Amino acid sequence: SKREKYQGEETMETTFIMIKPDGVQRGLIGDIISRFEKKGFYLKAMKFITVERSFAEKHYADLATKPFFNGLVEYIISGPVVAMVWEGKDVVATGRRIIGATRPWEALPGTIRGDYAVEVGRNVIHGSDAVESAQKEIALWFPEGVSEWKSQMHPWIYEV
């Protein structure tokens, strides 16, 4: 029933965020999770996983014709990643702003890529680029579903 949902839940979105193998190797997991947590977004699912080539190719299927595709797939399968689902108001677009521009030299200081990355092929983190791609990516990475929970802090973060 309505009473069991967040007030203002209609405006809530979910996005898929992945800490790439370089972010894991460099010990950035805690910092990255902290940024999303402290902002006021809710962690709905998380797993530490090394994916197979065919899975990485599926995740990046839209980029299959790009010259950097094979290198990108090699990069993503080179070690474990942290796959996550985050929930919040405008979390897809805001998550992209927290992450920063694809090319780290264009990413502003204060963004994850602006603070921690130099090369586009080692840019630490992935975030869904639209609500529709987020839904596709969440279904691909979390076919088992996500945790439904409500933060007791919700009214301290959201006006409604």
**Binding site residue list for ATP:** 20, 68, 96, 102, 113, 123
Q: Is 105 in the site for ligand GDP (CB under 6 A)?
A: no
Catalytic site includes residue 59 = no
Cα gap 60→51, rounded to integer Å: 12
Q: What x/- string results for residues 43 through 82 when contact with ligand GDP is judged by CB under 6 A?
A: --------------------x----x--xx----------
The binder of 92, among Mg ion, ligand GDP, none, by C-beta within 5 to 8 A per type, is none
Q: Is 35 in the site for ligand GDP (CB under 6 A)?
A: no
Cα gap 82→96, rounded to integer Å: 17
29-39 vs 91-99: helix axis angle to the nearest 10?
A: 140
Cα 23 to Cα 16, 62, 116, 145, 158, distances in angstroms? 16, 23, 9, 25, 30
List contacts with ligand GDP (CB under 6 A).
63, 68, 71-72, 102, 120-121, 123, 126, 129
Catalytic site positions: 126
